[in-house]
Amino acid sequence: MLGGDPHPVKPAPFSYADPVSVEEALDVLAAEGEGAKVLAGGQSLIPLLSMRLAAPATLVDINRIPGLSGITAGPDGVRVGALVRHAELLASAEAAGVQPLLGRATANVAHPAIRNRGTTVGSIAHADPSGEMTAVLALTGGSVTVATPGGREAVGWGEFFLGPLETSVHGPAVVLDAFFPALPARSGTAFAEIARRKGDYAVCGAGVVVTLDADRRVSSARAAYLSVGLVPEVHDLTDAVIGQPVDSADWTAAGELARGLVDPDGDLHASADYRRLLVATLTARTLADAGAEALTRMEAA
Amino acid sequence: MTTKFFGEPVRRREDARLIVGQGRYLDDIGPGAYAAAFVRSPYAHARVLDIDVSAAMDVEGLLAIYTYEDLTGPMAEPLPVLIPHPQLTAPRTGYPLVRDVAQHVGEPIVMVVATDRYVAEDAAALIEVSYEELPVVVGVDAAEAAVHTVHDDVPDNIAARHHQETGDVEAALAASAHTLSFTQYFERSASMPMEGKGVHARWDDADSSLRVYSSTQASTSVRAAIAAKLELSLEKVEVIAPDVGGGFGVKIVHPWPEELLVPMAARLLGHEVKWTEDRREHFVSSAHERQQRQEIRVGYDDDGRITALDVLVWHDNGAYTPYGIIVPINTATQLLGPYDIPVYRAVVNSVYTNTVVVTPYRGAGRPQGCFAMERTMDRIAQERGIDRALVRERNLIQPDQFPYDWGLTFQDGRPLVYDSGDYPAMMAKLKTLVDWDGFAERRAAAEARGKLLGIGMAPYVEGTGPGPYEGAHVQVLGSGKVLVSTGLTSQGQGHETVFAQLAAAELGVPLEDVEVTTGDTRRFGYAVGTFASRAAVVSGNAVALAARGVREKALRIAAEVLEADPADLEIDEGLVQVKGTPGASIPLRTVAVLSNPLRYAFDEAARQATQFAGPGDDSKPPVAVGDAPGLEHTDYYSPLRSTFASGAHAVVVEIDPATWEIAIEQYAVVHDCGTIINPMIVEGQVHGGVAQGVGGALYERMAYDRDGQLTNASFMDFLMPYASEVPDVDIDHQSTPSPLNELGIKGAGEAGVIPGSAAIASAIEDAVGRRIAAMPVSPTELYDLVRSDAERVINTSPHDSGAMA
C-alpha cells in the first residue's frame, strides 16, 4: 500500500507552454500527448492541480492566442470565443437579446471573482454536469467548434458530452468556440437553481424554453437540468402542457412529468429524492416564468 | 480612571493594517526558510509496518526526513495531557510522529524538510508507508458499543466519566408531577480560522537560542513546551504569535506536533524552517468539536417549572485527550443556563473515536449544553400547552438570587457561582426586540405567500474570564509614547484597540500615543492564553492595574517637580497638571525622562535626563530607595473565579415547503457582558459568533464515513456559510456589571455562537411542526423529516401553531 497524503495542496511539477496560434497549440498538444492539458481561465483546472487531483505534465495556455476572443451575436445565434470570460458574456446585451438564457445562466455561475476569470467555453470543455453553461448548450441545441490537426469541425452537444468531465474530444484538440442558437419566435426562457450557499455548485438547476403557437397556447416546453445526471439532460415536457393556454397551463403537471424522467444520484448535500423534488419545483416555477415571457415577447413582436 | 475612551465605540486600530495587506502572518515570515511537509496517515486506524524513504532520497533539494525513530529524549515521549483531571481516568495522547499506530486520518507519520514546499511535497509523495489496517471506531454510538477499541488498553473507549450532581435526582424525578425523557444528537464542526496553523523556527547557533513564531493562542505556554521537549533552558527560547488569522479555540491546543518538530529541525539543520498548514491538513489534523449524544430526563410541575434534571451525555473526544475534559465539563455545567433548577445531575462519558481530536471551539461545549436545555424547555412547553417564552420565564433565576451558587465545580476548578445578571429583564428585552407576542400576524402573512414561518428562542449563561491570571506591563517613553504589553495573544479580536482604550483612560493620554503588543514572550513572559472569553476580563484588568501603577509613579515624580501634593494632580491629554491651577503642569513624557536619571547624553531626551541636568535634590539619590528607574509598571490580575455573562437569541425562519430551503428572516440578540469597554467591538464579536452559530445549525458538519475518512475536507463540501448566508443581527445590550472585578466586565468572545443551534432548531420545529432532534439540519434532511413518521409537535404560543402541525 502506498503511503503519503493523497491530497497535498501544491501542484506537482509541470511544464508550461504559451503558444500564440492554434496550430502551435495543437503541435504542443500532439507532442506532449495525453499528459498535456489546455489552460484557459483555470477556475477548475488550477484547484485540481493545487490539490494534486490532476498532475498533467504540460499546461498549454491558450490565453495568448489571437482570434479566440469575442462574442458574435447574429440572427441565428451567439458564438462565444474560447477566451470569453463568464463576466463578459453576462454583460453582453447583444448576446442576451439573441439568446436570453446566456445571461440568465451566467449570472448563476459561481461568484464574481470566478466569473471574471473563468471562461464559458472552458466550463463547457470541462463537461461538468453541474455546470450552468453545459446545460444551456444542451437546451439550446448548441455546438462547439473543435480544432484538431485534421482541421476544424462543429460538434453538436449531444455528441460532445460523453460523461462527467468527459467529452468526445480525444488527442490533440482545442475547443475554439461554442455556438448557442437563437431563441425561436414566440418563445420565452427561464433559469433557476438551488445551491446550499449562494454561488456554490447547484444542488439542482433548471433552464427551460417555452414556445407558444399563434393562439398563445403551449406548443413546446423543454428543460435542461444541472446536477441531476452524468451529462447535461434535456427533457421534452410538452406532453404535459401541449395546447394549453399559456396563462393557465398546468406547469405543476410538467414538473411532475420531469420528476419521473430524471434519475439523479444522492450525495452529501442532497438525496436523490430531494433532487427529484427540486426538479419538479424548479421545472414548474421556471416554466411559468418562461411562459409569461414568451407571451410578453409575442405581444411585443 | 477617566471615562474618556472607556465605553466608546473607538474604531479598531489594527484594521487599517490588516485590511490593506500589511498584516504579518506566519507565512509572511522567513521567505528563505526551508519548508516542512508531512506524510500523514491515510487510514483512520492502522499500524505502521514500514516506512520506505528510498525513492524520496533522490529528490533534488531534499534536506531531511524524520520519522519517530529520529526522535530522542522528551520528543520521543507522548505529547502532554495539558489539563489533567481526576475523572480523566484514561488520558491518551499521540507522539509528535506516529510511533506504532495511527489513530486518525491525518496524524503525522513522517516530516520532510526541503528547500521549498514544492520539493518537500514531491519528496513526501515518494515516501512509501505500509500499514496494517485496524478496525475503525467512528461516532459516539460505535464508541459506546465498544465492539472495537481505539486504544488497546481502553476496552470501553471511555476516556473520562465526568459526574456532578446537586442532589438526589432519582428521588426528585420520582417526586415530580410530570417527567419526560428523550435523546438527541449534535454534530461535529470546527473552528476553521481563515489562517491555519503554522510554525517558523530559527536557531541561533552562536547564542544557542531559538526563536519561534507560531500561529498560536498561547505563546508563553508554547515556549515552555518547546523548552521542555527540546531540553532547552527557558531563557533560550522566544515564542512570538505574529498577526494570527483567527483562532476560535483550535490554536489554544499546544504543543501541536509541528510546533515541536519544526523547531527541532531548525536546530538540527542550523537553518530557518517553516511549515504552513494547508486547508486539507487543517481539516484532518487540527481539531474539531461538538459531537454528542444527549439523553435527557426532566421532571416538572403543572406550570412547567423544572423539579429535576438528569443528563447523560456521550461526548466524542476523538482519538486523544490533549486538552483534558474541558469541553465535557463546560457542557455539564453550562447546560443549566439562566434557570433555577433545584436538583441536577450530569454525567458526561467522553469517548475515544478514530477521528481528529476534539478540543474547545468557540463556545466549547456550551452550544451543546444550551441545545440540551432549550430543547427541554420547548418540550415542557409543548407537553403543558404553555407558551415557550412563559415556560422559560417561570424557570429563570431571579435578580435577588445572586450570587447564585450551584454547588457544582466549573471548568476552572472553582465553584460554579453566577456573579450577577438580570435574566427576566433580558428575556423581556428579547421578546420586545423580536416582537414575540406579535408573531401571529407575520406567520399569517407568510402562509398567504405559501411559506412556513417559525419562531424560536434560546437564552444562555456563559462563564467567562477564568484565571489563573494575566499580567501587563505599561511604560511611558521619553517620546511620550506609551507601550502596553500583555502575554496573552490576539487573533483579530481587537485587543490593540481595547487594551489601548484601557491604558489611555487610566493614564490620561491620547489614544494614538498608546502601542499595544500581545503574545510576544520577549515583551511579557508570564501569561496563560486567549480562550474562554477571558482577554478583556483578565488582561484588561491587568492593563488597567499596570497603567494605574504608572500613573501613581508619574504623579509622585511630577509632584516633586511641581512642588504639589500628588493628590492634587491630574493627567489629561498627556499633561500632568495641578487641578485648578493653569500653567502648573509638566508633560508626562518629561516625567518619563525625569524618571530615568542618566549619565550619558546621546539624544535630546537623554541630555535632559543626565543626572547633571536633573531637577533633583542634592541630598537625595537620583533614584529613591525602593524605587526603580523608568516610568513603567507591571501588574497582574487574578480573578477569584469566572464571571458569568448572559444573553438570549430569538430567530424567525422562513421555510419554502416546495424546496425546504431554510431562510433566516430575523435574528435578534440581547447580550449582557457587564460593563462594555467598546460596544462596536462587542457587537462585532456577537456578529461573528452568530455567523458561526448559523454555520453550525444549518451548514457545517464533519462528514466522516464509517472508515473514518473525512469525506468533505474542503471548503467546496464543508459548507462554512458565506456572508450571503449570515443574517443581519438586531442587537440590544443589557449591562449587569460583574462584582468580581473593578472594571465590572465579563467576557464577550464566545457568546454569539452558543444559542444558535438551540434557537434555530426551535424555530424550524415551530415552522414545520415536526420534532427536531438533531442538529445541524439541511433542506434535504428537512424534506426527509417531514415525510417521515417523526413526532408531530404543536407549540402553544400566543400565535397559531405550526402550519404543518
How many angstroms separate the CA atoms of B746 and B645, rounded? 6
Q: A256 to chain B: which residues are within 8 Å by CB?
A: none
Ranges of residues in chain B with a pLDDT under 70 are: 1-3, 611-616, 796-805
Cβ pair B306, B300 in contact under 8 A: yes
Q: Give whole-number Cα distances, B544 to A277, B207, B550, in Å.
A: 60, 36, 10
Q: Where in chain B is the domain with CATH 3.90.1170.50?
A: 32-134+197-244+251-285
pLDDT at A4 over 50: no
Chain B nearest-CA residue for A272: B780
- Give me the CATH code for the B292-466+640-787 domain, please: 3.30.365.10
- B395 phi-psi bin (left φ>0, alpha ψ -120 to 50, beta other): alpha
* Interface predicted TM-score of the whole assembly (ipTM), two decimals: 0.93
Q: Are A5 and B122 a contacting pair at CB < 8 A?
A: no
Q: Do residue A9 and residue B280 have CB atoms under 8 angstroms apart?
A: yes
Determine the pLDDT at residue A7: 40
Superfamily of domain B32-134+197-244+251-285: Aldehyde oxidase/xanthine dehydrogenase, a/b hammerhead (3.90.1170.50)
Chain B interface includes A258 (CB < 8 A): no
pLDDT of residue B608: 78
The class level of CATH for A15-61 reads alpha beta
Cα distance between residue A205 and residue A194, in whole Å: 6
CATH 3.30.390.50 domain locations along chain A: 187-300
pLDDT in tens, B572-585: 999 999 998 888 99
Whether residue B780 and residue A269 make contact (CB cut-off 8 A), yes or no, is yes
Q: Choosing among B780, B782, B785, which should be mutated to test the A contact, i.e. which has the most A CBs within 10 A?
A: B780
Each residue's pLDDT tens digit, A38-47: 999 999 999 8
Is the per-residue pLDDT at A52 higher than 90? no
For residues A53-61, give the mean pLDDT: 93
Instruction: Please report the residues numbered 226 through 245 in chain B whose beta carbons come closer than 8 angstroms to any beta carbon of chain A.
Output: none
B100-to-B64, B91, B130, B149, B260 alpha-carbon distances in Å: 21, 18, 12, 16, 19
Show residues of chain B in contact with A274, CB under 8 Å.
660, 779-780, 783-784
3-state secondary structure of B732: strand
Q: Do B109 and A274 make contact, defined as CB atoms within 8 angstroms? A: no
Query: What pLDDT shows up at residue B616?
Result: 63
Fold of B467-637: Aldehyde Oxidoreductase; domain 4 (3.30.365)
Q: In the 3-class helix/strand/coil scheme, how is B108-144 assigned residue by residue?
A: EEEEEEECCHHHHHHHHHHCEEEEEECCCCCCHHHHH
Query: Best mutation site among B659, B694, B717, B787 for testing chain A: the one with the most A CBs within 10 Å?
Result: B659
Q: Show Cβ contacts of residue B777 under 8 Å, excluding neighbours closer than 6 positions.
A: B662, B697, B698, B761, B764, B785
CATH class of residue range A71-181: alpha beta
Cβ distance A52 to B125 less than 8 Å, yes or no, reads yes
Within 8 A of A201 by CB-CB distance, chain B residues are 716
pLDDT value, residue A1: 32
Give the number of other CB atoms < 10 A from CB of residue A188: 24
Is the Cβ–Cβ distance between A210 and A100 less than 8 Å? no
Strand partners, B252: none
d(CA B315, CA B604): 64
Flag if B125 and A277 touch (Cβ within 8 Å). Answer: no
Q: Where in chain A is the domain with CATH 3.30.43.10?
A: 15-61
Q: State the average pLDDT for chain A.
A: 94
CA B137 to chain centre: 28
Summarised one tens digit per residue, pLDDT across range A121-178 is 999 999 999 999 999 999 999 999 999 999 999 999 999 999 999 999 988 999 999 9
Cβ–Cβ pairs < 8 A, chains A and B:
108
pLDDT for B613: 60
Residues in chain A within 8 Å Cβ distance of B279:
9
Give the closest residue to B122 by CA, choosing from B201, B63, B67: B63
SS3 of B511-577 = HHHEEEEECECCCCCCCCCCCCCCHHHHHHHHHHHHHHHHHHHHHHHHHHHHCCCHHHEEEECCEEE
CA distance A160 to A163: 9
Q: Is there a contact between B137 and B143 (Cβ–Cβ < 8 Å)? A: yes
The residue written with cell numbers 518619563 in the block is: B592
Widest pairwise Cα distance in chain B: 93
Task: Identify which of B422, B384, B207, B190 has the alpha carbon closest to the alpha carbon of residue B288.
Answer: B190
The DSSP annotation for B392-449 comes to: HHHHBPPGGG-SEEEEEE-TTSSEEEE----HHHHHHHHHHHHTGGGHHHHHHHHHHT
pTM: 0.95
- Establish if B37 touches chain A: CB-CB under 8 angstroms: yes
Mean pLDDT across A22-29: 96
Q: How many CA atoms lie within 13 A of B657 on its CB side?
A: 17
pLDDT at B2: 54
Would you identify the CATH topology of the domain A187-300?
Answer: Enolase-like; domain 1 (3.30.390)
CB pair distance less than 8 Å for A3 and B129? yes
CB-based contact, B705 to chain A, within 8 Å: no
- Is the pLDDT at A8 greater than 50? The verdict is no
Task: Spell B59-74 as b/e; 16+ CB within 10 A means b.
Answer: beebbbbbbbebbeee
> Does B278 contact A at CB distance below 8 Å?
yes
